[in-house]
């Protein structure tokens, strides 16, 4: 192979799960930390999702290595099982003896619960890991939930890690699985590698293979990122085939052309064109103004092409008509003979028809020119209208922001003028005490000044206490929060694109979510108008311009 040619100790881009080539990106470390947190004393279910080839298996193996020694693990790789088969597999993994024939669901469940109690009494933790969990049937998931019902006052006796593709998130949104969804204490969606991480990933694997130098130039690395969309398994396939092509063509450095050629073999013919077009479409979708201009240019271009085709067809028809009217000039003798022959009415009508056709062609040409001028004028007007619409939208947004700033300023002034009342526990209003410092005999001015400063500081602290007063949760307020899909159109159109990549629920209200690659806590602003109000078990409550709505955890709003 090419390993000796490039001076490599071994093949660096094999798709086999070799632990020596393990690359833990920031995303993988973050996923590992959330899974570890979810497996705490109070943990029940932990959810890890991601696209095919993003490294979910890598993370699960790291979880296994990080588990303490007093942990018994049951690992299920093939979840396409019935409820009975799943319980039997759990018994096999936990080395539970049971009767192979005639064992009922109750028998298997009782055996598993006895094992969990024995492990707990012996100081052992029991963890069940299910890979490819998107293939689990709903009744099997419900059976898993029933297994986790066994618990003490402080912990679950069985902790379950579900690993699967994004379809698993959709499966858990079902109404009949809402009880299980509420028991998920940690969720994480593993995203593909970004451009910088792809370069680090390739360099890491080459370093492990003891490469004496760089084997991919910068353009090749960028192309690999675009073609693979940051998925490690596709990166391995592309790099391996690119190095083989470079070896066959006696090239010492892989460039962009070699990567594109390799992608046709590794990913299929025309795959790189499709991937690049998808990438361009995704980037273009982020700007509605650019999309409108592209549509305008496309419409005008098609109109011009159709007009050109009509003009060409009419011109050729005109030429044929003119050629048919051309008459060879007769000699004097021929003219005399022809003048003596009477012209029939049929010939005269034919010539008149040809003349009328020529005039009609000329008229059509004139109309075509006018149509082209009209299309050009229409294109100019559309561009002007588009610019006016953009300016109008910008002006409207600016006006709204100025109005909000003015309202906030007025509210701030009103807060300074109006003194709020303190509400004690019994509900009776109690006015704030007023203190007035006056000069007294024997008291120095310096001491009076210190007294006045202390009073002012006390008032300031009281104001801060009012601002930081207890704010009950959404559930305690018993507020009916609608889903974003049920909100008015102006709210749906105003909310920007949201991609919830991580959901961490905590009963004390200190949970967090990772949205658009940024971690947000309760009370944080995602944008100026969009704020995180609450992080519940299976949804996030947001506020847009004082309108409350909810989005499911680990969901995406386009």
0.75 exceeded by the pTM? no
CB atoms within 10 A of CB 320: 11
C-alpha 150/C-alpha 159 separation (Å) is 10
CA 443-444-445 angle, to 5 degrees, is 125
User: So what's the pLDDT on residue 403?
Assistant: 66
Q: What is the pLDDT along the chain (558 residues), one digit of tens a residue?
A: 788 889 999 999 988 777 778 788 888 888 888 887 777 655 678 899 999 888 888 788 888 888 888 889 999 988 888 999 999 999 999 999 988 888 898 999 999 999 999 998 998 889 999 999 999 998 999 888 888 888 777 778 888 999 999 999 889 888 888 888 888 888 888 889 999 999 999 999 999 999 999 999 999 999 999 999 999 999 999 999 999 999 999 999 999 999 999 998 887 745 444 444 444 433 433 444 444 444 444 444 545 455 555 544 544 455 554 444 444 444 444 443 444 444 444 444 444 455 555 555 556 656 655 665 666 666 666 666 667 767 777 776 677 667 666 655 654 544 343 344 444 444 444 455 555 666 666 666 766 676 677 667 666 655 555 444 444 555 555 567 888 888 898 988 889 999 888 888 776 677 888 898 888 888 899 998 899 988 887 888 999 988 899 998 888 888
- The first and second tokens of residue 475, run together, are 């559930």
User: So what's the pLDDT on residue 204?
Assistant: 93
User: So what's the pLDDT on residue 283?
Assistant: 42
Which residue's structure tokens are 């990122």? 225
What is the DSSP secondary-structure string of 150-191? -B-SS-BS-EEEEEE-THHHHHTTSGGGHHHHTTEEEEEEEP
What is the DSSP secondary-structure string of 315-343? HHHHHHHHHHH--PPPPHHHHHHHHHSPP
C-alpha 558/C-alpha 549 separation (Å) is 16
C-alpha 455/C-alpha 476 separation (Å) is 36
C-alpha 435/C-alpha 491 separation (Å) is 48
Burial environment of residue 348 by CB neighbours within 10 A (0 to 12, 13 to 18, 19 or more): exposed
218-228 and 232-248 helices cross at what angle (nearest 10)?
A: 130
Q: For residue 157, give the nearest of 165, 147, 166 by alpha carbon.
A: 147
- The first and second tokens of residue 377, run together, are 């004028």
Buried b (16+ CB within 10 A) or exposed e, 522-537: beeebeebbbbbbbbb
Q: For residue 164, give the nearest of 194, 184, 193 by alpha carbon.
A: 184
**CA dihedral of 411, 416, 422, 428, whole degrees rounded to 10:** -70
| Helices first, then strands: H and E counts in the chain | 19, 12
Q: For residue 198, give the nearest of 418, 450, 23, 1 by alpha carbon.
A: 23
């Amino acid at each position: 192979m090419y390993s000796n040619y490039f001076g490599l100790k071994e093949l660096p881009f094999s798709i086999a799960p070799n632990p020596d080539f393990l690359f833990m990106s920031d995303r993988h470390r973050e996923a590992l930390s959330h899974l570890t947190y979810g497996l705490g004393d109070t943990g029940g279910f932990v959810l890890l999702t991601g696209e095919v080839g993003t490294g979910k298996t890598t993370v699960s193996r790291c979880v296994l290595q990080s588990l303490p020694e007093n942990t018994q693990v049951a690992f299920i790789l093939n979840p396409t099982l019935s409820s009975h088969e799943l319980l039997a597999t759990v018994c096999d993994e936990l080395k539970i003896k049971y009767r192979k024939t005639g064992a009922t669901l109750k028998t298997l469940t009782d055996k598993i619960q006895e094992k969990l109690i024995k492990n707990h009494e012996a100081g052992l933790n029991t963890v069940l890991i299910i890979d490819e969990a998107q293939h689990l049937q709903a009744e099997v998931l419900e059976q898993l939930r029933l297994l986790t019902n066994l618990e003490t006052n402080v912990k679950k006796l069985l902790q379950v890690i579900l690993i699967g593709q994004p379809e698993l998130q959709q499966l858990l949104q079902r109404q009949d699985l809402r009880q299980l969804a509420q028991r998920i204490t940690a969720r994480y969606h593993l995203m593909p590698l970004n451009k910088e991480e792809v370069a680090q990933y390739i360099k890491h694997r080459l370093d492990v293979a003891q490469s004496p130098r760089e084997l991919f130039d910068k353009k090749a690395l960028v192309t690999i990122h675009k073609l693979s969309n940051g998925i490690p398994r596709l990166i391995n396939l592309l790099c391996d085939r690119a190095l083989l092509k470079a070896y066959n063509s006696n090239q010492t450095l892989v460039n962009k052309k070699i990567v594109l050629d390799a992608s046709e073999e590794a990913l299929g013919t025309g795959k790189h064109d499709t991937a690049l077009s998808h990438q361009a479409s995704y980037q273009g979708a982020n700007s509605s103004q650019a999309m409108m201009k592209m549509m305008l240019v496309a419409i005008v271009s098609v109109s011009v092409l159709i007009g050109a085709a009509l003009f060409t067809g009419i011109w050729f028809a005109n030429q044929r008509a003119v050629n048919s009217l051309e008459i060879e000039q007769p000699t004097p003798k021929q003219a005399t003979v022809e003048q003596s022959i009477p012209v029939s009415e049929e010939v005269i009508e034919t010539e008149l028809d040809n003349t009328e056709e020529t005039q009609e062609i000329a008229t059509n040409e004139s109309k075509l020119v006018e149509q082209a001028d009209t299309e050009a004028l229409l294109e100019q007007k559309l561009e002007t209208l588009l610019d006016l619409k953009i300016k109008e939208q910008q002006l409207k947004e600016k006006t709204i922001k100025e109005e909000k700033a003015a309202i906030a300023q007025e509210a701030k002034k009103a807060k300074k003028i109006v003194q709020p009342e303190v509400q004690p526990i019994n509900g009776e209003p109690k006015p704030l005490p007023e203190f007035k410092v006056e000069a007294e005999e024997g008291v120095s001015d310096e001491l009076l000044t210190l007294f006045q400063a202390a009073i002012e500081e006390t008032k300031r602290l009281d104001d801060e206490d009012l601002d930081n007063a207890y704010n009950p949760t959404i559930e305690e307020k018993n507020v009916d929060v609608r889903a974003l899909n049920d909100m008015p159109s102006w709210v749906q159109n105003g909310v920007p694109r949201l991609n919830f990549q991580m959901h961490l629920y905590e009963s004390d209200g200190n949970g967090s979510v990772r949205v658009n690659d940024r971690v947000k806590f309760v009370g944080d602003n995602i944008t100026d108008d969009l704020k995180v109000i609450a992080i519940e078990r299976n949804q996030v409550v947001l506020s847009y311009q004082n309108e409350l709505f909810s989005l499911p955890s680990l969901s995406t709003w386009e």
